Amino acid sequence: MAINWFKYSAPTTFYGLAGRLVPWFAVPAALLFALGLYIGFFVAPVDAVQGEAYRIIFIHVPASILSMFLYLIMAGYAALGLIFNTRLSSMMATALAPTGALFAFISLWTGALWGKPMWGAWWVWDARLTSELILLFLYFGFIALHASIDDARRADRAAALLAIVGSVNVPIIYFSVKWWNTLHQGSTIKFTGTSMHVAMQQAMFVTLLACWMYAVAVTLLRVRSIILERERNTQWVSELKEAGL
Amino acid sequence: MGVRIEGGGAVSIAEFFNMGGYAFYVWGSYGVTVLVFVVEILMVKHKRKSALQQVRLMREAGE
């Protein structure tokens, strides 16, 4: 049996697939958030050093991880669009940018609210914090550059270059706590294991999964609108039968 | 009223919301996160509406 691997790389077929996939990510996201926060607030013990304030970790770390991974995925899609000239890849990159930016914002916001009681400062120009702020600006730059060019295909190419060049920032964020002396604490979870209480690890892992599911669901919803907007002149959109059309 | 299941024993609801004196920082983090998610979902819904509107306009223009 021959499988057409490119079937879902066409906006026409992906539009329907994305719509069917959304509930499969949205519902687990809600359930996992509930479970993760339950473990994080009711099962995980108080931290010996940071008291109850450490519970910010259950959103701060997942949001930070997502802000970096979503950027790499966005840059990857943008690169695919640039190399193979595939419309859907570029649409996916455009759909990922706002969600990535929001996770970068949540990372910075929760970091400030965590930094104030622990370090005595909302913000310091530390390597980790500064490189994460640059990540947020890269998302803004991608969104603004794409929006500023009227021709969608040209916008895709220009924004793709920005995304690809900017991806050098992601390893800088990740390794910043190793490369420089920073106020930010090192990685809690390391490849060699962790000193974290098992319930804290579980809570963080579950909220991380929840954030993933949320990001996928909201990106699929957004890309459907982008597909409709950009393909509105095509035959298949004009013949599309759907609620609201 | 027992809330916490493990670690530190049972605490009252007031103590739970007080977060050991860090209530502003902890709830400020989660509150804004929820707000961001809600705003994003509303933005996505609005985008969907306007995309459908554009398609309808194209169809009317084509008829």
- Give pLDDT tens digits along chain A (245 positions): 555 656 677 888 899 999 999 999 999 999 999 999 999 999 999 888 888 999 999 999 999 999 999 999 999 999 999 999 889 999 999 999 999 999 999 999 999 999 999 999 999 998 999 999 999 999 999 999 999 999 999 999 999 999 999 999 999 999 998 888 878 887 776 656 667 888 999 999 999 999 999 999 999 999 999 999 999 888 889 888 887 77
Which residues does chain A have within 8 Å of residue B62's beta carbon, measured at their own beta carbons? 238
Could you tell me the residue range of the domain that residue A109 belongs to? 22-43+54-230
Judge whether A10 lies within some domain.
no
Judge whether A239 lies within some domain.
no
CB–CB contact A99 B40 (8 Å): yes
Report the domain count for chain A. 1
Judge whether A242 lies within some domain.
no
pLDDT reported for residue A68: 97
Distance in angstroms between the alpha carbons of the first and the last residue of chain A: 36
Q: Which residue of B has its CA nearest to A211?
A: B37
Closest by CA position to A95, among listed A208, A217, A210: A217
B42 touches chain A (CB under 8 A): no
A53 touches chain B (CB under 8 A): yes
Judge whether A7 lies within some domain.
no
Judge whether A113 lies within some domain.
yes
Judge whether A77 lies within some domain.
yes
Alpha-carbon gap: B35 to the closest alpha carbon of chain A (Å): 10
A59 touches chain B (CB under 8 A): yes
SS (H, E, C) chain A: CCCCCCHHHCHHHHHHHHHHHHHHHHHHHHHHHHHHHHHHHHHCCCECCCEHHHHHHHHHHHHHHHHHHHHHHHHHHHHHHHHHCCHHHHHHHHHHHHHHHHHHHHHHHHHHHHHHHHHCCCCCCCHHHHHHHHHHHHHHHHHHHHHHCCCHHHHHHHHHHHHHHHCCHHHHHHHHHHHCCCCCCCCCEECCEECCCHHHHHHHHHHHHHHHHHHHHHHHHHHHHHHHHHCCCCHHHHCCCCCCC
- Both tokens of B12, joined, read 């009252």
Cα distance between residue A44 and residue A124, in whole Å: 29
Closest by CA position to B47, among listed A78, A75, A98, A103: A98
Judge whether A179 lies within some domain.
yes
A39 and A72 Cβ atoms separated by less than 8 Å? no
Judge whether A6 lies within some domain.
no
B-proximal residues of A, 176-235, CB under 8 Å: 199, 214, 218, 221-222, 224-226, 228-229, 232-233
pTM attached to this predicted model? 0.91
